[in-house]
Chain A
């Protein structure tokens, strides 16, 4: 199982801030993003077009980063703090 968190405009579009997903074998961020496209129409739109950043266990990662069961994964739009 992995926990996926959503923030900012993405969280609003998906109308949820998290999702638990069973993960039997490890996959890359890119593969996870592809899986999420099939979750619901809102997910399809958000995960195919948007320019999203990803963090695994609270560290910004690239799309080829591998995800293991138990990881905390987060997707969010480019940041605008400061």
Chain B
């Protein structure tokens, strides 16, 4: 596990599972915050796919730097009081947790927007790749145009 931390930002890339509840409790302990949003991404199975696992590969070092700078930008843009991001790598089976983004803010609009901003950036800018293992073999997941469009929205604001 690798970790980078400052007063309000924690970023981790790890193979182990994480506890959303623990992250929520840590965020709830931050003074003067009136809103917490946590998002958890799971390995999604598909009816006709028979997914066995997702294999997540990343660029060690750059992944942590990217997540940290996204968190810093989110803190600036949405006046967040704290951000926690944990992204798992390695082999993950259906329904397992992949990623958690937790943010604490003064008000709900900043908390919702901050968490969405972080996820949209994460999906398109952080060097992580998914490989699908199913009954017919393996296949690298292709980047989606829709994810890029979600990301592009933030540059127009």
The answer to whether A82 touches B140 (Cβ under 8 A) is no
Q: For chain B residues 23-82, which have a beta carbon within 8 Å of chain A?
A: 41, 56-59, 61-62, 65
Number of B residues, CB within 8 Å of A: 27
Classify chain A: how many residues form its interface, as a range.
10 to 19
Q: Given A74-B59, A80-B141, answer yes or no on A55-B122 (Cβ-Cβ < 8 Å).
A: no
Least CB separation from A58: chain B residue: B62
A73 to B127, CA, bound (A): 13
* A81 near B59: Cβ-Cβ < 8 Å: no
B128, A82: Cβ atoms closer than 8 Å: yes
Instruction: Report the bound CA distance from A45 to B3 in whole Å.
Output: 37
Cβ–Cβ < 8 Å partners of B133 in chain A? none
A77 contacts across to B, CB distance below 8 A: 129, 140, 143
Q: A9-B129, A55-B62, A55-B127 are in contact. Are A79 and B56 (CB under 8 A)?
A: no
A40–B107 CA distance with the chains assembled, in angstroms: 56
Is the CB–CB distance between A76 and B129 below 8 Å?
yes
> Which chain A residues border B15 with CB–CB below 8 Å?
none
Contacts from A to B (Cβ < 8 Å): 5, 7-9, 11-12, 55, 58-60, 74, 76-82
Interchain residue pairs A-B with the least CB separation, the first 4: A81-B128, A78-B143, A8-B129, A58-B62
Enumerate chain B interface residues (CB-CB to A < 8 A): 41, 56-59, 61-62, 65, 87, 98-99, 119, 122-131, 140-143, 147
Seed contacts A8-B57, A55-B127, A79-B129; 8 additional CB < 8 Å A-B pairs: A5-B59, A7-B129, A9-B129, A9-B140, A79-B128, A80-B129, A81-B99, A82-B128
